[in-house]
């Protein structure tokens, strides 16, 4: 089903930007896992809005409320439902959206799909706010895969025309503004401030690596590790591109350049290069799983844009109100990590069955 993900760790994300709450229902978490709620909250805070210059003015504390699936702080094996209340909603900002779609948003396509009954306030189920429950599920998965020595790190690789330099490492990922080269990070923040001042927005790229993944995860042909990550990552609003390892650069390469030769290191098969992004034939090879995700600019911009009034059937203009991020990329970093963690944990459960 559409807002669900996973074969073994099965989560369903629910809620709209302005419904009483948003949340997630999860099946498949093993019994007996004691959750670290503080660590989960710290993870959610990285995504929460209103915390800094580059995010929307909407303020939400994003405190998860556990409804079921626990006995005390430990999972009991049955479905886990978590809510996050919506508090700072201003539905009056959105009346016009019921019939005048904003360019670049899902307003028009939601109108068609739900025959005019879509919950348009704040973008409804299409709001970036729905990444909060995804981060709850992902934050739990990060704890689950962490027990098996797997971690997820990421950085901002590009914002607008500013590229980060250097190699992604664990220490990069711990920064508040995760780039290798802090000077470039400063340039990115300046660019965000500039587009914000212009009432404009800007896109970017997040690079992510999953470290410590065992060889053997992923199930070809259509549940390979790339397919699993792709199905998940394109569920994050604004994602329009995805590449693994050398990705699009492979197109310009020859096989003699692109193959990663095998070596032995401490009796383990390794590759020194990692152009394949840790995945061959859809299955992890034990090297880090590396991928890059392209985000389009937030479609909410200040100026007047051309649109169509679906009620009157006439062309018109629209001005976007409400509170928005000038650049979604920064807050998207933990969302990409959450998404990766869910995809990897689900593949891990599949693998566990095989190893029996």
Judged by CB under 8 A, the chain residues 114 through 143 that form the site for a second copy are 114-119, 121, 124-126, 130
**304-309 and 314-319: which strand pairing?**
antiparallel
In angstroms, what is the minimal distance from the CB of 151 to a second copy? 19
315 binds a second copy (CB under 8 A): yes
Parallel/antiparallel/unpaired status of strands 74-75 and 70-71: antiparallel
> φ, ψ for residue 65 (rounded to 5)?
-110, 115
Q: Which stretch binds a second copy (CB under 8 A): 42-50, 137-145, 182-190, 225-233?
A: 225-233
- Positions in 227-246 near a second copy (CB under 8 A): 227, 230-232, 234-235, 237, 239-246
What is the spatial distance between Cα 41 and Cα 252, in angstroms, rounded to a whole number? 43
Q: Judged by CB, which is closer to a second copy: 161, or 174?
A: 161
Q: Is the dihedral of CA 64, 67, 73, 78 positive or negative?
A: negative
Name, in order, each residue with C-beta under 8 angstroms of 188's C-beta and a sequence gap of 6 or more.
156, 159, 160, 162, 164, 177, 179, 204
Select 171 or 263, whichever has its Cβ closest to a second copy. 263
Among 8, 61, 321, 323, binds a second copy (CB under 8 A): 8
For 35, the 3-state DSSP assignment is: coil
267-277 burial by CB neighbour count: b if 16+ within 10 A, else e? Answer: eeebbeebbbb
- With CB under 8 A as the contact rule, which of the stretches 49-57, 165-173, 182-190, 298-306 interacts with a second copy? 298-306
Contact partners, residue 311, CB within 8 Å, separation at least 6:
99
How far is 162 from 248, CA to CA, in rounded Å? Answer: 19
Q: Which of 159, 168, 180, 341 binds a second copy (CB under 8 A)?
A: 159
Angle at CA 140, nearest 5°, toward 289 and 174? Answer: 60
Number of residues that bind a second copy (CB under 8 A): 152
Count CB-CB contacts under 10 A for residue 80.
23
CB 286 within 8 A of CB 214: yes
Minimum CB separation from a second copy for residue 320, in Å?
10
66 makes contact with a second copy (CB under 8 A)? yes
In angstroms, give the least distance from the CB of 348 to a second copy. 9
Among candidate residues 174, 186, 138, 173, the one with its CA nearest the CA of residue 26:
138
> With CB under 8 A as the contact rule, which of the stretches 27-35, 51-59, 165-173, 175-183 interacts with a second copy?
27-35
Question: Does the footprint of a second copy cover residue 92 (CB under 8 A)?
Answer: no
Q: Does 344 bind a second copy (CB under 8 A)?
A: no
Most distant CA atoms of the chain, gap in Å: 71
Closer residue to a second copy in complex, CB, 148/170: 148
Q: Which is nearer to a second copy, 175 or 263 (CB)?
A: 263
- Measured from the CB atom, is 42 or 209 closer to a second copy? 209
Of the listed pieces 38-46, 52-60, 173-181, 263-271, which binds a second copy according to CB under 8 A? Answer: 263-271
Choose which of 50, 146, 212, 282 interacts with a second copy (CB under 8 A): 282
Q: Does 14 bind a second copy (CB under 8 A)?
A: yes
CB of residue 153 to a second copy, shortest distance in Å: 20
Identity of the residue, 37 or 117, whose beta carbon is nearer to a second copy in the bound complex = 117
Q: Does 266 bind a second copy (CB under 8 A)?
A: no
Asked if 288 is part of the footprint of a second copy (rule: CB under 8 A), the reply reads: no
- Among the listed residues 41, 310, 321, 323, the single contact to a second copy using CB under 8 A: 310
Question: How far apart, in whole angstroms, are the C-alpha atoms of residue 278 and residue 86?
Answer: 39
* Distance between CA atoms of residues 256 and 38, nearest Å: 49
Q: Nearest to residue 58, comparing CAs of 93, 15, 83? A: 93
Q: Read off the tokens for 14.
A: 């629910």
Among 146, 177, 215, 323, binds a second copy (CB under 8 A): 215
């Amino acid at each position: 089903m559409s807002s669900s993900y996973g074969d073994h760790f099965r989560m369903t994300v629910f809620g709209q930007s302005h419904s009483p709450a948003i949340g997630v229902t999860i099946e498949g978490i093993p019994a007996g896992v004691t959750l670290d709620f503080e660590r989960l909250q710290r993870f959610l805070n990285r995504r929460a809005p209103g915390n800094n210059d580059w995010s929307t003015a909407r303020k939400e504390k994003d405190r998860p409320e556990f409804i079921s699936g626990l006995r005390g702080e430990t999972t009991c094996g049955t479905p886990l439902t978590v809510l996050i209340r919506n508090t700072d909603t201003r539905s009056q900002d959105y009346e016009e959206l019921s019939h005048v779609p904003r360019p670049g948003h899902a307003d028009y396509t939601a109108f068609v799909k739900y025959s005019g009954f879509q919950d348009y306030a704040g973008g409804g189920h299409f709001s970036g706010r729905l990444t909060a429950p995804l981060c709850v599920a992902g934050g739990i998965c990060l704890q689950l895969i962490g027990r098996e020595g797997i971690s997820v790190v990421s950085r901002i690789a590009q914002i607008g025309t500013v590229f980060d330099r250097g190699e992604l490492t664990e220490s990069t990922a711990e920064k508040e503004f995760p780039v290798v080269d802090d000077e470039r990070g400063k340039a990115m923040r300046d660019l965000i401030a500039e587009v914000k001042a212009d009432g404009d927005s800007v896109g970017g790229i997040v690079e992510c690596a999953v470290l410590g993944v065992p060889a053997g995860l992923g199930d070809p042909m259509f549940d390979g590790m790339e397919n699993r990550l792709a199905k998940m990552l394109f569920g994050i609003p604004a994602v329009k591109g995805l590449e693994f390892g050398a990705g699009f650069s492979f197109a310009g390469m020859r096989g003699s350049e692109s193959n990663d030769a095998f070596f032995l290191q401490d009796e383990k098969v390794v590759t020194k290069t990692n152009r394949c992004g840790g995945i061959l034939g859809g299955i992890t090879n034990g090297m880090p799983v590396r991928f890059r995700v392209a985000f389009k600019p937030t479609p909410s911009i200040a100026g007047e844009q051309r649109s169509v009034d679906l009620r009157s059937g006439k062309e018109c203009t629209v001005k976007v109100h409400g509170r928005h991020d000038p650049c979604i990329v920064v807050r998207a970093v933990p969302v990409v990590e959450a998404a990766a963690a869910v995809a990897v944990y689900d593949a891990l459960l599949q693998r566990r069955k095989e190893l029996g």
